[in-house]
Amino acid sequence: MTARGKLLVVAVGVAGALSLLSVADAKGFRRYLSLKQDVGALQQRNTSLSEQNEALRQEIAALRKDPAALERAVREELGYVKPGELVFHLESP
C-alpha cells in the first residue's frame, strides 16, 4: 500500500470516528437536530404572531376611521346599548 493509500485510510478512519463521536455526544449532532427543530417551531410561531399583529393593525385602523366599526366593538366587547333599545340574551341548552 502506498503512502497516499495509508493516508486516505487514516483520514477516513478519523472522519468516521469524529462522526460517531458527534452522533453519540449530547452536545453534538443530536443537539444540532434539536435546535434545528426548535428554530422551525419558533419560525412558525413568529409567522402566526405576525399575522395576528397585522389583523390587529387593521382593526385599529378601522376603529379610528369607521364609526360603524367603533360602535360594533363597543356593543360586542362592552355590552353597550342605545337608549330605548331592548336586549334579549338567548342561550341554547
Query: Is the CB of residue 30 less than 8 Å from the CB of residue 23?
Result: yes
SS3 25: coil
Mean pLDDT, residues 43-58: 97
Report domain extents, the chain: 21-78
Cα separation, 70 vs 68, whole angstroms: 5
Question: How far apart, in whole angstroms, are the C-alpha atoms of residue 27 and residue 35?
Answer: 11
| Tens digits of residue pLDDT in 15-40 | 888 877 776 766 767 778 889 999 99
Q: What is the SS3 assignment for 7? A: helix
* Entry field: residues in the chain: 93
Average pLDDT, stretch 68-78? 89
pTM exceeds 0.85: no
Percent over 90 (pLDDT), the chain: 38
Contacts of 10 by beta carbon, 8 Å cutoff, 6+ apart:
none
Does the pLDDT value for residue 57 go beyond 90? yes
